[in-house]
Chain A
Amino acid sequence: MDLSYTPEEEEFRAGLRKWLAGVLPTLPPKPDPLDWPGRRVYDTGWQRRLYDAGYARVHWGASATLRLIFLEETERAGAPYVGANFVGLLHAGPTIAAEGTEEQRARWLEPVLRGDEVWCQGFSEPDAGSDLAALRTRAVRDGDTYVVSGAKIWTSHAEVADWCELLVRTDPDAPKHRGITWLAMPMDAPGITVRPLRTLAGSDEFAQLFLDEVRIPVGHRVGAENDGWRVTMVTLSYERGTAFVGEVVACRRVLVEIARAAHKNGTWDDPVIRHQLGALNAEFTALWRLIQWNVSESERSGGPPGVGGSVFKLRYSHARQELYDAAAAVLGPDALDLGREWTADRLSSLSYTIAAGTSQIQQNIVAERILGLPKGR
């Protein structure tokens, strides 16, 4: 049990702090949260600065501890979040790095790191959400090309993406997990229709994709044909593993801001509210420690993040919702004012127990893979 950092790690932290202090005041103003094209420009611009300063690679090449420090410090300094780069940096990138050929890594990784290209994730379908392996988007081989037809839904950032990590069915006769293939689809290919889908928070951050005989070169396949499910599991473990580090740091900051607001408007004197905020302080401290525990574990095992990510995600998604419920209790009638930052954040927190595997699915995973309970029917 050692929570101290090595001198090299501390040096990395100090250097990063110094760099952030210099660069953050030079950033352009933040775009309107509902302006997705504007957000793309902003997010990729930030990524480019990280690249030029040598920090872009921290998401894959570096040790999990350096990544932890990076996410902690950038959040603390109030630096922009990954935003539109989320899929490229945290899903598709790590997958290509782990499973792609040398040529594929050379083609796709650098542009993600430089902020030149944005990715989206085309996994879910109208009839394949939690049961992702039931997906039906068909890919039929025509020489050196896959011809793809079908529909995807909930595709975040689809409107501003250059590439889509796409799951397709290549063998309809095989058992459902064995007929799936992972493809990189250029979003400007003919036959793709993107229809924006408005979220309950009022933003067009995700979309429906309609694919009508979209032609994708066979060379855009990552992993073997029909091996896409295994490739996907690699991606999902990254998603549940370290993707939320920065957010936990942010939640701890927001909690202090909520306490400050409670002091200001007198709700702090209400013991129910005070206790709620106190309990959340213990909760987010513990979640931060759990992240350190999970990071240590993955450093030891050397592989992708383990199922500990499911334990974390279950608790964190719930805690985040409680945090913004507490903010609403402090705000009182102002909690209904969409002009308040916490009101919008409260709305978006509702997606946390659904996206990236619902809480029910995570509980199945914990029960079956960690506790060894029998698989349900």
Chain B
Amino acid sequence: MDFQLTDEQRALKTGVREMLARRFDATALRAAVDGGGLDRGLWRALGDAGFFALRLSEEAGGVGLGLPEAVLLFEEAGRALLPGPLIATQLAAGLVEGAAEGATVVTAPDGGLVEWLAEADVVRGDATGAEPIRSADPLTPLHRLPGGGAGGSPERALLTAAEQLGSAGRSTELAVQYAREREQFGQPIGAFQAVKHLCAQMLVRTEVARAAVHAAAVTGDPVEIAGAKLLADEAAVRCARDCLQVYGGMGFTWEAEVHLHLKRAWLRRERWPTPARGRELQAAALEEAM
């Protein structure tokens, strides 16, 4: 047993982080927030980098890696607030023409919502009757489906959890950075225990979620995946909330990155399984074990 990342996995993570820093920097993020629509050039670049073909076998022209590697990739995507129906497109690689290469944008309904419906080339699943709504997340245009959402797939849930994990880590990092730099009463606010303890709990939540998400990626067990999403949802939302608190008034501005993490985390929480559903699934697993 060696639950740590392998050297290759570390290299993959670093590689993706650097690629995203280059291709989706602060300026690109701002442009996307201000309603830039989906950047097809970026989508292509992700395709070229193997983002969508990661889990496709090498014979089929893919990279041939597994769920653990996909989880690392989506962690980085979540951390960078990368926009677009990334998960639906990766899951369509090899099934929908052009998805693997980043030539086709694929979306799919999830939890009563459809992301990027107007911009997508292909919709997998039933989006009949979907009505546009004014999305609370400036980075994700949304349609609302009549009625609630149907079920979902464990793979989608796991990759969503990975995005949440990346976002939780980023919110923690932002809060800690700010707490070190911002001074009040003649000292960095991070010297105040009230702030310090918020930050410590952010790290704890993130690390517990990380253990859950990574283990679920290794076992692929649906119950463990549902549990991982439950913890990752909580980590992403709570960490963004606490980050906002550490940022003070600055956290309430449009300009700071903080609200983008919170809004996206809220959105991902609505994907299957929602926390309420996840707790039911866990309860059902307990019944099994009885």
Q: Which chain A residues have a beta carbon within 8 Å of chain B's beta carbons?
A: 1-6, 9, 65, 255-256, 259-260, 263, 274-275, 277-279, 281-283, 285-287, 289-290, 292-293, 295-297, 299-300, 308, 311, 314-315, 360, 362-364, 366-368, 370-377
Contacts and interface: CB of A to CB of B under 8 A. Distances in A.
B34 interface: no
Interface residues of B, number: 55
27 contacts: A1-B217, A1-B218, A2-B218, A6-B1, A256-B286, A274-B283, A278-B278, A278-B284, A278-B286, A281-B282, A283-B231, A285-B227, A289-B3, A289-B212, A292-B215, A296-B3, A314-B200, A314-B201, A315-B208, A363-B193, A363-B200, A364-B197, A366-B200, A366-B203, A366-B204, A367-B196, A373-B196
Given A4-B1, A281-B286, A376 B192 contact: yes
A367 B211 CA distance: 20
B286 A371 contact: no
A33 B174 CA distance: 48
B213 to A, nearest CB: 9
A374 B212 CA distance: 30
Contacts of B195: 373
A376 B199 CA distance: 14
B150 interface: no
B5 interface: yes
Nearest to A263: B290
B126 interface: no
Q: Is chain A's binding surface mostly helix, strand, loop or mixed? A: helix
B191 interface: yes
A373 B217 contact: no
B128 interface: no
Given A279-B230, A281-B286, A376-B193, 20 more contacts: A1-B3, A1-B9, A1-B68, A1-B214, A1-B217, A3-B3, A256-B290, A259-B286, A260-B290, A275-B283, A278-B279, A278-B283, A286-B215, A286-B227, A289-B212, A296-B4, A300-B2, A366-B203, A372-B180, A373-B199
A282 B201 CA distance: 18
Contacts of B192: 376
Contacts of B227: 281-282, 285-286
A255 B210 CA distance: 23
Which of A259, A281, A377 has its CB near the most chain B CB atoms (within 10 A)? A281
B214 A65 contact: no
A290 B207 contact: yes
A296 B280 contact: no
A245 B154 CA distance: 29
Q: Is chain B's binding surface mostly helix, strand, loop or mixed? A: helix
B180 A374 contact: yes
Given A282-B230, A286-B231, A296-B4, A373 B190 contact: yes
A238 to B, nearest CB: 20
A259 B290 contact: yes
Nearest to A373: B190
B133 interface: no
Contact of A374 (B4, B188, B203): B188
A372 B203 CA distance: 12
Which of A260, A274, A286, A362 has its CB near the most chain B CB atoms (within 10 A)? A286
Contacts of B210: 293
B108 interface: no
A3 B219 contact: yes
Contact of A282 (B9, B214, B278): B278
A260 to B, nearest CB: 5
B93 interface: no
B279 A274 contact: yes
A305 to B, nearest CB: 14
B196 A289 contact: no
A293 B200 CA distance: 19
Nearest to B290: A260
A286 B206 CA distance: 11
B1 A2 contact: yes
Contact of A373 (B180, B281, B289): B180
Contacts of B5: 1
Contacts of B187: 374
Contacts of B276: 275
Contact of A315 (B188, B204, B226): B204
